């Protein structure tokens, strides 16, 4: 016996309504999750900036990190080198300890990482004018926002660019190490230009990746961990993009 067309229509309507409601619920959850990621990232950047400014304006702290060298040139002390390489240790702890740590512990490590980054970046206030630092910061913020929005909204799969971005990142690191000995202004400029392109691409790629790992079924603990680790990725993209642009457009004292 054939079913009533009206019943089939009603059933179909109910299915569509249910699917739309579920999609709307996921969309709300996704926006809340991404907002959490951006809030962590912004808070980390704020902490880094405050500590960098306080450090650069406190002679007692600066005397521990920098000392006059031959010819009166300011050189980093052993403590300064330890501070500069400390963020790498935090990154390793975050990446390899994320599964074992509680979300609250992961948050504390992230704040510690942002604080140490502030200490390590205090030197930019000694090397560049405050006006140029502010100008480059706003340029970075605008560029980052645009590329992160693109990564969030685009339907194009950006995972195919990952290998190129990683190779570019490795190349930048190697070139920077080499230039420590060469002190080539041309290489310095090339590193900065390529660095801007790489971190612009990573901003879009990381945003899409962070969005893709969202699951509505995740509990609060897992969701917080994902948000913190997503914030770490975007924080690093922002900081590195800022430093590359500062090398290009910053006005030295």
Condensed to tens digits (0 to 9), the pLDDT of residues 140-177 reads 999 999 999 999 999 999 998 989 999 999 999 999 98
**Residue 87 pLDDT class (50, 70, 90 cuts):** very high
Closest to 242 (Cα-Cα) out of 134, 123, 158, 95: 134
Question: Which stretch, 17-21, 45-49, 57-61, has highest mean pLDDT?
Answer: 45-49
**Is 106 a residue whose pLDDT tops 50?**
yes
Q: How many domains does the chain have?
A: 1
**Residue 19 pLDDT class (50, 70, 90 cuts):** very low
Residues whose CB is less than 8 angstroms from the CB of residue 159 and which lie 6 or more positions away in sequence, other chains included: 205, 208, 209
**Residue 191 pLDDT class (50, 70, 90 cuts):** very high
Tell me the average pLDDT across 226-250.
96
**Is 40 a residue whose pLDDT tops 70?**
yes
Residue 24: its pLDDT value, please? Answer: 52
Q: What DSSP string runs through 42-109?
A: HHHHHHHHHHHHHHHT-HHHHHHHEEE-GGG-EEE-HHHHHHHHHHHHHHHHHHHHTTTS-HHHHHHH
Residue 27: its pLDDT value, please? Answer: 81
Q: What global pTM score does this model have?
A: 0.87
The domain of 110 spans: 5-249
Residue 126: its pLDDT value, please? Answer: 87
Residue 121: its pLDDT value, please? Answer: 93
Residue 14: its pLDDT value, please? Answer: 52
| Cβ-contact 31, 153 below 8 angstroms | no
Residue 1: its pLDDT value, please? Answer: 46
């Amino acid at each position: 016996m054939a079913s009533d067309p009206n019943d089939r229509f009603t059933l179909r309507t109910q299915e569509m309504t249910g699917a739309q409601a579920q999609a709307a619920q996921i969309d709300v959850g996704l926006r809340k999750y991404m907002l959490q990621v951006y809030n962590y990232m912004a808070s980390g950047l704020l902490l880094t900036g405050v500590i960098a400014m306080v450090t650069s304006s406190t002679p007692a702290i600066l005397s521990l990190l920098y000392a006059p060298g031959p010819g009166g040139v300011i050189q980093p002390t052993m403590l300064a080198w330890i501070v500069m390489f400390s963020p790498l240790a935090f990154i390793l702890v975050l990446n390899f300890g994320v599964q074992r740590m509680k979300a609250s512990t992961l948050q504390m490590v992230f704040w510690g990482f942002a604080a140490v980054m502030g200490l390590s970046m205090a030197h930019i206030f000694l090397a560049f004018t405050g006006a140029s630092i502010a100008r480059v910061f706003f340029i970075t913020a605008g560029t980052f926002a645009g590329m992160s929005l693109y990564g969030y909204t685009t339907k194009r799969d950006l995972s195919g660019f990952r290998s190129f971005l990683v190779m570019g990142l490795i190349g930048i690191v190697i070139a920077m190490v080499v230039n420590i000995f060469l002190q080539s202004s041309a290489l310095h400029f090339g590193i900065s230009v390529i660095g801007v392109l790489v971190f612009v691409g990573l901003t879009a790629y990381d945003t899409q990746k962070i969005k893709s790992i969202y699951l509505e079924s995740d509990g609060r603990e897992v969701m917080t961990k994902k948000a913190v680790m997503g914030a770490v990725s975007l924080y690093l993209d922002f900081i590195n993009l800022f430093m590359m642009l500062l090398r290009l457009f910053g006005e030295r004292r």
